[in-house]
Amino acid sequence: MAVLAAGVSTTVEALQYVLDLGRVASVDDVLVNTVGAVLAALCSRRWWLYYR
């Protein structure tokens, strides 16, 4: 989950930088997004196991 979240977040930040959308690309955003995705995955693990 962490690798997937980091990959998606890095892609979004790279696109912001390359396309010059007027937004600032930041490594901090990648880290915070990754940690948030991992925490959300851990919190929802109970439902994953239920539907499995």
What's the domain range around 35? 28-52
Query: pTM (2 decimals)?
Result: 0.80
Contact 35, 46 (CB under 8 A): no
* Alpha-carbon distance values, 38 to 6, 15, 32, 34, 48 (Å): 10, 22, 10, 6, 14
In a domain? residue 1: no
In a domain? residue 3: no
Integer Rg of the chain from CA: 14
Per-residue pLDDT reduced to its tens digit, 3-50: 999 999 999 999 999 998 888 889 999 999 999 999 999 999 888 777
In a domain? residue 9: no
In a domain? residue 47: yes
In a domain? residue 41: yes
Number of domains comprising the chain: 1
In a domain? residue 10: no
In a domain? residue 48: yes
In a domain? residue 32: yes
How many CB atoms lie under 10 A from the CB of residue 13? 19
Candidates 44, 16, 42; CA nearest to 29 is: 16
